[in-house]
Amino acid sequence: EVQLVESGGGLVQPGGSLRLSCEVSEFTFSRYWMTWVRQAPGKGLEWVANIKEDGTEKNYVDSVKGRFTISRDNAKNSLYLQMNSLRAEDTAVYYCARTLTYGFDYWGQGTLLTVSS
């Protein structure tokens, strides 16, 4: 069974940094684009970033450009999101998702990031 497990969330002060991880299993990770999607408490879904199979192409929503970096380690079947200069508005549950050309077919359970002093 395909599994995606996020980790690394927690409480961070404004201006701080954190790295989220997403470890996958039961599929060939290196053959898929991967995506991070977030959801602020009580709000809708927001696409954050995606990364090509080999890591050579990355895309970001404007609100995180220059602050967040998506990366992957295909040898470790893992996806990452390095988040710097965190703001209160980055508070959300962060999901990783396996990405097809036409959508996100498998999702993790999410990890909660809270940015607060």
Q: The tokens of 96 are what?
A: 């990783």
- As measured in angstroms, the least distance from the Cβ of 5 to another protein is 12
Please state, in angstroms and rounded to a whole number, the distance separating the CA atoms of residues 11 and 24.
Answer: 24
- As measured in angstroms, the least distance from the Cβ of 31 to another protein is 18
- As measured in angstroms, the least distance from the Cβ of 1 to another protein is 13
Examine residue 2 and tell whether it contacts another protein (CB under 8 A).
no
Q: Is 75 exposed, middle or buried (0-12, 13-18, 19+ CB in 10 A)?
A: exposed
Using CB under 8 A as the binding rule, the residues of this chain from 44 to 103 that contact another protein are: 44-47, 50, 59-62, 95, 100-103
